A = this chain, B = another copy of it.
Amino acid sequence: MIRIKDIAQKANVSTATVSYVLNGTGSVSEKTRIKILKVIEEMNYQPNHIAKSLKIKKTNTIGVVVEDVTSFHSSEIIDGINEYAENHGFSLLLTNMRVLKRLGRDLEDQEKVRQLTPPAMKEILNKQVDGLIYIGVHTRDVSGIINTGTLPTVYTYCYTSGEGYSVNYDDHLAAYEATKYLIEEGHSKIAVISGLFNSNPSRDRFNGYYQAVKDHELVFDPSFIKTGDWEFESGYTLTRELLDGTTRPTAILAMNDVMAAGAINACLERGLHIPEDISIIGFDDREFSSYINPKLTTMRLPLHEMGMEAIKSLVSILNQEEATEKNKKLKCTLIKRHTVGKPRE
């Protein structure tokens, strides 16, 4: 391994001078600068980041703790983080907590999640990262569960009540816009297949829906609200219930694409045509949404952007820029495909 020392010897200067040209600090004459640069080139010198980090107490490495990498949103967020990191000289140290695989749907049990944390995270904290990005599996509150100590941290796809920085998407607005779209298409009987009701996204999305219904002076029918559990089966079952109800809705707002897929299956099975007989709108824009038949109209989550904004926030915290926004909320976008149409007369 070539060291600064080797460069210095060959170029007949001190190590300090070499370091100065490497970092563009100090004052070095153009002549020696050129000379040193040439030697560096010749010897194919690669700086040792470890040594540098030890001295300057900065690693230019960001820890990324993800509750579950295999969850659909994680890789897209990581991709966003990576894009910014690459362009700004940061590396990413990744740790996967695997909460979903280890706890399943038990993860609302905060104590269990907490117990999962230490082994996975201690290591990453000790590795001397400059800051941390925490990617949850649901946009739920993780305060009290995660203790990152004094390390600057930005939470995304989850948040901490009150303290801490977070980047998320706007559930309320997204549901509002989805509902508004349905209403504008002419629907007035709009059912909802919700996720688990003790979760923030479910609550916020319901409120967005409710707001849109009220703003457009439609009647709110509680029998149109069904509570699912985010899974395919519940979308399927609840849609059957909806179709068997006294008044049949002309549109269904499913709170994720997986349940929407279940809803589509249920409708198709009953011989209904989508969107002629019933419209369905999903949430997430999962990859499969354009592989199913008919292709699903859905609200796309700004995942890539969330990753980008999370690391931007973190970097601005690291740079002590005071203006950093505490809780960013990004907008979802409506992806129009083939499951929404005007209702029959």
Binding site for B on A (CB under 8 A): 46-51, 53-54, 59, 61, 64, 69-70, 72, 74-76, 78-79, 82-83, 86, 89, 91-96, 98, 119-120, 123-128, 232, 258, 261-262, 264-265, 268-269, 286-288, 290-293
Complex alpha-carbon distance, A53 and B59, angstroms: 13
- Closest chain-B Cβ to A75's Cβ sits at a distance in Å of 5
Complex alpha-carbon distance, A124 and B125, angstroms: 19
Q: Are B72 and A287 touching (Cβ within 8 A)?
A: yes
13 contacts between A and B (CB under 8 A): A47-B126, A61-B127, A69-B82, A70-B75, A82-B96, A83-B98, A92-B95, A93-B94, A232-B291, A258-B291, A264-B293, A286-B288, A287-B288
Task: Return the chain B residue nearest A86 by Cβ.
Answer: B120
Q: A69-B75, A82-B98 are in contact. List 18 more A-B contacts (CB 8 A).
A: A48-B126, A48-B128, A49-B126, A61-B127, A64-B94, A69-B78, A69-B82, A72-B287, A75-B75, A79-B96, A79-B98, A82-B96, A89-B123, A91-B95, A94-B94, A261-B291, A269-B293, A291-B292
Q: Could you say which residues of chain B place their CB within 8 Å of the CB of A293?
A: 264-265, 268-269, 292-293
Closest 8 CB pairs of A and B: A288-B288, A261-B291, A82-B96, A94-B94, A69-B75, A265-B293, A75-B75, A92-B94
Task: Return the chain B residue nearest A82 by Cβ.
Answer: B96
Cβ contact of A50, chosen from B50, B79, B82, B93, cutoff 8 A? B50
- Closest chain-B Cβ to A316's Cβ sits at a distance in Å of 21
Complex alpha-carbon distance, A47 and B127, angstroms: 9
Q: Are B288 and A292 touching (Cβ within 8 A)?
A: yes
Complex alpha-carbon distance, A291 and B265, angstroms: 9
Q: Could you say which residues of chain B place their CB within 8 Å of the CB of A61?
A: 93, 127
Q: Is the interface of A mostly helix, strand, loop or mixed?
A: helix
Q: Interface centre among A82, A98, A290, by most B CB within 10 Å?
A: A82
Q: Could you say which residues of chain B place their CB within 8 Å of the CB of A50?
A: 50, 53-54, 59, 127-128
Q: Are B49 and A91 touching (Cβ within 8 A)?
A: no
Task: Return the chain B residue nearest A101 by Cβ.
Answer: B79
Complex alpha-carbon distance, A83 and B102, angstroms: 12
- Given known pairs A54-B50, A69-B79, A75-B69, the reply for A127 and B91 (CB within 8 Å) is yes
Q: Are B292 and A292 touching (Cβ within 8 A)?
A: yes
Q: Are B94 and A78 touching (Cβ within 8 A)?
A: yes
Q: Are B76 and A95 touching (Cβ within 8 A)?
A: no
Q: Interface centre among A76, A79, A124, A262, by most B CB within 10 Å?
A: A79
Q: Could you say which residues of chain B place their CB within 8 Å of the CB of A92?
A: 93-95
- Closest chain-B Cβ to A298's Cβ sits at a distance in Å of 13
Q: Could you say which residues of chain B place their CB within 8 Å of the CB of A292?
A: 261, 288, 291-293
- Closest chain-B Cβ to A239's Cβ sits at a distance in Å of 13
Q: Could you say which residues of chain B place their CB within 8 Å of the CB of A91?
A: 93, 95, 123-124, 127
Complex alpha-carbon distance, A126 and B93, angstroms: 14
Q: Could you say which residues of chain B place their CB within 8 Å of the CB of A82?
A: 69, 94-96, 98
